[in-house]
């Protein structure tokens, strides 16, 4: 058996692993790289395999850095099935066409920029999206939903099972058993693991045995703030901005997962009387649809989230929530200069409507930008977190005068302590542990801690292959 690391190796995004034997060839995840020009180049390069020869894909969850190249894979000849959880299948119907639409808009905008330029860029080949909306929608026909904990045999030599990862709705740890010439090897892909004891979703499923382990390391070198301190910080940031400074709070948030968690938190804090008379706008058609899908799968909520939802159905909460749909409704938010909480995608500030809200709100010191999720290297969100004094958005240089709050304790990713706790539930060390889905310093820090447990762990590089 041969395993090749085609993404999320010494970096967070682009999750993609190729598993090959003499009888089968399949992928686990096929995600988009994110974070500036380097990521764009990686997305545009040819696949390192023939898509026509891939038998099937196993998908851990819907986030674009895990799923975002599936339409391109299908457009280039992959005609097999994409197996994933039921909730993830629902979310893909929103995320993949939206991702394609954003690419189409960005390509069109870049071509207009080149036409107006006096430089040599005018004579370059036209910018094109990685795939079209039509191709994204076509790829959805290849998705096969599977329930949690349900045995699946996608190939005569492969068995697998999806387990709850507690990261976002539908996220999964995938157990895979591969039979290669009579020898069965078990592989476990952690996907993105959730932080235990967080709102809405259940804690990650404990796995006790595997031969080969792939574990994420997004926060492999650090601990999150505790939830109580984090919530206190959110309350202060919102009250200070809305009541004292009379400004707006802008929250870049992933449309799937983070937006719903923030809404949950704002409802809970209003119920407790810590926040009052909030005026919230969710400006992301994708987040609106994702929220509806989330409510459709309430059986996946933890007990606390189910109780809040039941209470909200029976009681009036002094909170105004508006989901904007059209571009005109989004533009209308530009006229609101105080008293609003605007939640918009993308979560790393690199695409979508959030960029327009940053253009309109970054320059005013009364406002607050509340960063609640991981910001990958090369993204606008990362530059803001790192203290940039200006931000270049759609060719405009925008002064950063708004206050930037970075709230780490709301992360949907397990921190180092939670990752180590999950790992320690294995009854015996895996033969090999590959630390993936983390920037190099985070991955190496976690690998070092795993090595201290007398496990054989290493951090593979992009394009590396190993044989078993």
- Looking at the structure, tell me whether residues 54 and 76 fall in a common domain: yes
- Looking at the structure, tell me whether residues 52 and 179 fall in a common domain: yes
- Looking at the structure, tell me whether residues 212 and 234 fall in a common domain: no
Number of domains in the chain: 2
- Distance (Å, rounded) from C-alpha 247 to C-alpha 357? 13
- Looking at the structure, tell me whether residues 6 and 34 fall in a common domain: yes
**Tens-digit pLDDT profile for the chain (468 aa)?**
999 999 999 999 999 999 999 999 999 999 999 987 889 999 999 999 999 999 999 999 999 999 999 999 999 999 999 999 999 999 999 999 989 998 998 899 888 888 887 665 556 788 899 999 999 999 999 999 999 999 999 999 999 999 999 999 999 999 999 999 999 999 999 999 999 988 788 999 999 999 999 999 999 999 998 888 999 999 999 999 999 999 999 999 988 888 988 998 999 999 999 999 999 999 988 888 988 898 888 888 878 778 877 777 777 777 899 999 898 999 999 999 999 999 998 888 988 899 999 999 999 999 999 998 888 888 999 999 999 999 999 888 999 999 999 987 888 899 999 999 999 999 999 999 999 999 999 999 999 999 999 999 999 999 999 999
DSSP 8-state secondary structure symbol assigned to residue 140: G
Q: How far is CA 175 from CA 101, 164, 181, in A?
A: 33, 11, 20
Locus of tokens 């387990």: 163
- Looking at the structure, tell me whether residues 153 and 209 fall in a common domain: yes
3-state class of 347 per DSSP?
coil
Token pair belonging to 451 = 């090595």
- What confidence score (pLDDT) does residue 119 get? 66
Name the burial class of residue 227, with classes exposed (0-12), middle (13-18) and buried (19+) by CB atoms within 10 angstroms of its CB. Answer: middle
Domain boundary among 391, 406, 421: 406
372 neighbors 251 (Cβ within 8 angstroms): yes
- Distance (Å, rounded) from C-alpha 286 to C-alpha 23? 39
Domain boundary among 387, 406, 425: 406
- Looking at the structure, tell me whether residues 384 and 437 fall in a common domain: no
Name the burial class of residue 273, with classes exposed (0-12), middle (13-18) and buried (19+) by CB atoms within 10 angstroms of its CB. Answer: exposed
Locus of tokens 């339409």: 71
What does the DSSP assignment read for 282-337?
A: EE-HHHHHHHHHHHHTGGGB-HHHHHHHHHHHHS--SEEEEE--SHHHHHHGGG--
- Looking at the structure, tell me whether residues 165 and 57 fall in a common domain: yes
Token pair belonging to 347 = 């979560």
- What confidence score (pLDDT) does residue 314 get? 77
3-state class of 123 per DSSP?
helix
- Distance (Å, rounded) from C-alpha 360 to C-alpha 354? 10
Is the pTM above the cut of 0.95? Answer: no
- Looking at the structure, tell me whether residues 113 and 170 fall in a common domain: yes
- What confidence score (pLDDT) does residue 418 get? 97
Compute the C-alpha angle 227/233/236, nearest 5°: 145
Domain boundary among 406, 421, 450: 406
Q: What is the CATH number of the domain that holds 321?
A: 3.40.50.10890
434 neighbors 460 (Cβ within 8 angstroms): yes
Q: At what angle do helices 258-271 and 227-239 cross, to 10 degrees?
A: 80
Comparing CA positions, the residue from 273, 250, 448, 266 lying closest to residue 360 is: 250
Compute the C-alpha angle 167/168/170, nearest 5°: 110
Number of helices (H) and strands (E) in the chain: give both, helices first.
Answer: 14, 22
- Distance (Å, rounded) from C-alpha 330 to C-alpha 408? 28
Strand ranges inside 190-317, DSSP E: 212-216, 249-252, 278-283
- Looking at the structure, tell me whether residues 231 and 317 fall in a common domain: yes
Contacting residues for 45 by C-beta, under 8 A, at least 6 apart = none
- Looking at the structure, tell me whether residues 360 and 426 fall in a common domain: no
- Looking at the structure, tell me whether residues 255 and 387 fall in a common domain: yes
Domain that holds residue 98: 2-222+412-467
Q: How far is CA 188 from CA 31, 175, 430, 451, in A?
A: 18, 5, 10, 18
- Looking at the structure, tell me whether residues 323 and 460 fall in a common domain: no
Q: What is the CATH number of the domain that holds 20?
A: 3.60.15.10
């Amino acid at each position: 058996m041969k395993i090749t690391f085609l993404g999320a190796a010494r970096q967070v995004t682009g999750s993609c692993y190729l598993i090959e034997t003499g009888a089968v060839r399949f992928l686990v995840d096929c995600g988009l790289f994110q974070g500036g020009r380097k990521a764009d180049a990686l997305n545009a390069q040819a696949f390192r395999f023939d898509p026509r020869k891939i038998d099937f894909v196993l998908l851990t969850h819907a986030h674009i850095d895990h799923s975002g190249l599936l339409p391109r894979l299908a457009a280039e000849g992959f005609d097999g099935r994409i197996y994933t959880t039921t909730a993830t299948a629902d979310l893909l119907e929103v995320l993949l066409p939206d991702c394609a639409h954003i690419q189409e808009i960005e390509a069109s905008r870049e071509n207009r920029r080149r036409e107006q330029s006096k430089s040599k860029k005018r004579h370059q080949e036209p910018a094109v999206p990685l795939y079209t909306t039509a191709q994204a929608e076509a790829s959805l026909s290849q998705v096969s939903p599977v329930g949690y904990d349900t045995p699946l045999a996608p190939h005569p030599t492969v068995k697998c099972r999806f387990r709850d990862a507690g990261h976002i709705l539908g996220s999964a740890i995938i157990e895979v058993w591969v039979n290669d010439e009579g020898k069965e090897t078990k592989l476990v892909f952690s996907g993105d693991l959730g932080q235990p004891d967080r709102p809405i979703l259940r804690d990650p499923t404990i796995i006790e045995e595997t031969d080969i382990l792939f574990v994420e390391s997004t926060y492999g070198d650090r601990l999150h703030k505790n939830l109580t301190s984090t919530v206190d910080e959110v309350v202060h940031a919102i009250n200070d901005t809305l009541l004292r400074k009379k400004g707006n709070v802008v929250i870049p948030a992933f449309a799937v997962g983070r937006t719903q968690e923030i809404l949950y938190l704002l409802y809970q804090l209003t119920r407790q009387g810590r926040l009052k008379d909030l005026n919230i706008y969710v400006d992301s058609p994708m987040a609106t649809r994702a929220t509806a899908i989330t409510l459709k799968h309430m059986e996946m909520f933890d007990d606390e989230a189910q109780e809040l939802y039941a209470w909200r159905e029976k009681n009036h909460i002094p909170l105004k929530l508006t989901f904007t749909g059209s571009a005109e409704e989004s533009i209308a938010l530009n006229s609101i200069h105080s008293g609003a909480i605007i939640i918009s995608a993308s979560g790393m500030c690199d695409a979508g409507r959030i960029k327009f809200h940053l253009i309109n709100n970054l320059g005013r010191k009364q406002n607050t930008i509340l960063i609640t999720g991981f910001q990958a290297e090369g993204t606008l969100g990362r530059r803001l977190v790192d203290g940039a004094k200006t931000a270049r958005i759609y060719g405009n240089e925008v002064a950063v005068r708004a206050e930037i709050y970075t709230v780490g304790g709301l992360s949907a990713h397990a921190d180092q302590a939670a990752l180590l706790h999950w790992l320690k539930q294995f009854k015996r060390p895996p033969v090999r542990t590959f630390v993936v889905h983390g920037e190099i310093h985070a991955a190496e820090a976690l690998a070092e801690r795993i090595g201290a447990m007398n496990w054989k762990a290493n951090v593979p590089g992009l394009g590396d292959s190993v044989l078993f």
